[in-house]
Structure 1
């Protein structure tokens, strides 16, 4: 089977897509603090890597194998990122500033299950409703949609918190009690 040039290219391409996807996911798991899962994944990753690289090195006289390896690497980065988007690990913090003082935006968001801390802030043109919202990443797009429906002109800044400690809301989310 490996004597067929087309099959060799296809195998190298697939191996590298799988390898780099694993690599991308492992890096994200490492950054999210999931050490043991990342270590387990890296064991599988290195086996796939050695097999793929070995096929290329054993057949360096065929440029299409090297090209397949490089293309597989690029595609693997994209596939790994898509997988990570679907997994949506971790949490995000969304800061929202709204001039809609007459609407009770914090209550509306809390009723949907989001953890909201709010305060009145002073902007260039007067008072603003400032909110800090914590949510699992998998609800990120839904939260944006809700905010834009409530206030299309809201100013939104998003970041990923590195560490979360305490708070009643975090316990509820970890038990899967967010009202989506």
Structure 2
């Protein structure tokens, strides 16, 4: 019984996490489908615990399963890597090699001159699918180990050549 309750809650919370991410990313129909499955799992698991409230190990299994489910859900979300990120990079040297090499890899890069406390800099803005986030950081650090990198998720993306290139799979060919 303890193992069943533990596994049910791991699955339930993993579904909960994925459903929440899908909801935030605007995948409403898939989120609704997952929530239907999620609530069935939740009711079964909670029912098992409530039917046996006198056995503390069931409640402990439920709580531990919830905690493990959060971790499993986060790992699944990392693997799915839905959506895009915008990466802003500021280099110490105004070097055109970094944007050139990133463009050769298929990334869309916009650059401009920036002025920092210690002088002129080059600022880059790069939009990429989240699944390429870590390889992008690695490539930037290989070219410019001193680069300042900050990233965030854009709410909406419209137009530009980059969207067309991603749809054609240019980044995937350069993996």
Same fold (TM over 0.5): yes
Question: Over residues 23-77 of structure 1, what are the superposed CA-to-partner deviations in whole Å (9 max), with x where a residue is unaligned?
Answer: 0000000001110100000000000000000000111110000000000000000
Q: What is the aligned partner in structure 2 of residue 174 from structure 1? A: 167
Q: What is the aligned partner in structure 1 of residue 21 from structure 2?
A: 28
Distance 1:102 1:60 in 2: 66
**Structure 2 unaligned runs (5+)?**
none
- Equivalent position of 2:68 in the other structure: 75
Listed as ranges, the matches of 1:62-141 within 5 Å are 62-141=55-134
Shift of 1:174: 2.9
Asked if 1:142 is matched to 2:142, the reply is no
* Consecutive aligned runs of 4 or more in structure 1 exceeding 3 Å deviation: none
Cα RMSD between the aligned structures? 0.9
Per-residue deviation, residues 149-173 of structure 1 (Å, max 9, x unmatched): 1111101111011111111211221
Distance 1:126 1:175 in 2: 39
Tell me how far apart the structure 2 counterparts of residues 105 and 66 of structure 1 sit (CA, whole Å).
Answer: 55
Shift of 1:142: 0.3
Q: Provide the rounded CA distance (Å) in 1 between the counterparts of 2:29 and 2:141.
A: 39
CA–CA separation in structure 2 for the residues paired with 1:127 and 1:147: 19
**Stretches of structure 1 lacking an aligned partner (at least 5 in a row):** 1-7
Aligned residues: 173
Scaled by the length of structure 1, what TM-score is found? 0.93
The CA deviation at 1:103 is 4.2
| Mean CA deviation greater in 141-150 or 103-112 | 103-112
Q: Residue 100 of structure 1 contacts residue 151 of structure 1 at CA under 8 Å; is this kept in 2? A: no
Q: Contact 1:9 / 1:68 at 8 angstroms: preserved in 2? A: yes
